[in-house]
Amino acid sequence: MTTLNSSEPMSQAHTSVTGLCWGDEGKGKIVDLLAPAFDLVIRYNGGANAGHTVWVDGQKFALHLIPSGVLHDGAIGVIGPGVVVDPDQLLDEIDGLTQRGITVEGKLWISDRAHVVLEYHKVEDRLREGSAGEDAKIGTTARGIGPCYADKMQRLSAIRMCDLQNSDLLEEKLVQVVDIKKRTFQAVYGDDGGIDGKRIFKQLKENCRRLAGYIRGTTSALGQAATSGKRMLFEGANGMLLDVNHGTYPFVTSSSTGPWGIAAGAGVAPQTVRHVVGVTKAYSTRVGAGPFPTELNDAFGDQIRNQGNEFGTTTGRPRRCGWLDSVALRYSIQLGGITEVALMHLDTLAGFDQIGICTGYQLGDERLDTLPADANVLESVTPIIEMQPGFEANLRECSTIEELPPEAIAYINRVESLIGAR
């Protein structure tokens, strides 16, 4: 167990868990470990493009929208106003949990300010990605996340959870929005997507009937919870290098993925969070398109992928794998004010004779020690790799850091010294 950088116990302070890289770091497992010490577990960004896999009592759960904290009896799961909600996906998750004996009745709050992902958002995602040339593809999950956030910013075409509670106005608005979407799709892509406003409304009306008991004003509810001494754990989706402002743009998601997204995405004061746990694997992975300096397109990359079971929770896509990138980690840690780091998948590296760490980037004659803003520049760098001795032991049998092989401890110490956090 790591020593905290604060004298205040984590269980007595509002805490966030955020991914430090391009997602898939294992955030859900850390949330699952911490959740019993908290009263509320809050999602504040993203949508069904995120997937958190956790094991509870020998059962595997893959959740995309519902905060993984609901798997614990004492915690309430909150979907904040910064999340975009796919009602069909959410109901599938609720039904799936119910079938396995886990009820979310009274344990799940959905913000009435959260925006709704609808059929035409997914159609737009597919049409846009399908029309892009190979070099222009973003690598979207086609879950409609980007188009929904775009409608949110355009305002007049957006649907929020609170709109579901007024059927007459909702139907009128949906018919108008779908008409505009169809004409736009036809003009831009030569395909209207086959969307139908009345069909969408009918499905949405049924979804609303089933979700009505979960929708509430979470902004005021969280304010009251904080005032009454309730402990809050904020569960980030995606990773900080996918942040729309600070990530490897344009190969990013459409929301604020770092701790700075909590105030807006959950509706709490900026100074609320005291502990910020950053999560990273002991190596690097990425899904979809975008620059990835330490990527290994060789037997080492294949070995990491197979030993780490590196296939997407949401899409099933094989993840791109590479050595740990301390430059990217240091960038995220400084940017996010990370107070401690959870290092995941160290056991995946067991059996390697040597393990690489990227300590810098080489760009022509220049050395870079931070992440450049231009994705084309990042694509052009050569990683400066430092090799460390590997280790053979089965790390899954170790429960304290002292039980780790000396080489594994040396690797952790070197990572700490490079990234500037424990």
Among all residues, which ones are annotated catalytic?
24, 52
Structure tokens at 241: 């290098």
Query: Shortest CA distance to 322 belongs to which of 375, 362, 353, 285?
Result: 285
Place of tokens 């649907």: 159
Residue with tokens 């309730």: 230
Q: Based on C-alpha coordinates, what's the Rg of the chain?
A: 22
CA atoms within 13 A on the CB side of 324: 31
Cβ atoms of 307 and 345 within 8 Å: the answer is: no
- In angstroms, how far apart are the furthest CA atoms of the chain? 67
* CA pair distance 282, 373, nearest whole angstrom: 24
CA distance 303 to 386: 19
The partner residues of 127 in beta bridges, in order of sequence, read none
Taking the C-alpha atoms of residue 2 and residue 315, their distance in angstroms, rounded to an integer, is: 33
- C-beta pairs of 99-104 under 8 Å, 24+ apart in sequence: 100/59, 102/70, 102/71, 104/66, 104/70, 104/77, 104/214
Q: Do residues 46 and 265 make contact, with C-beta atoms less than 8 angstroms apart?
A: no
Concatenated DSSP letters of 77-121? EEE-TTSEE-HHHHHHHHHHHHHTT---TTTEEEETT-EE--HHH
Number of residues that make up the chain: 422
Cα 299 from Cα 402, distance rounded (Å): 31
Spatial separation of the C-alpha atoms in residues 227 and 289, rounded to whole Å:
44
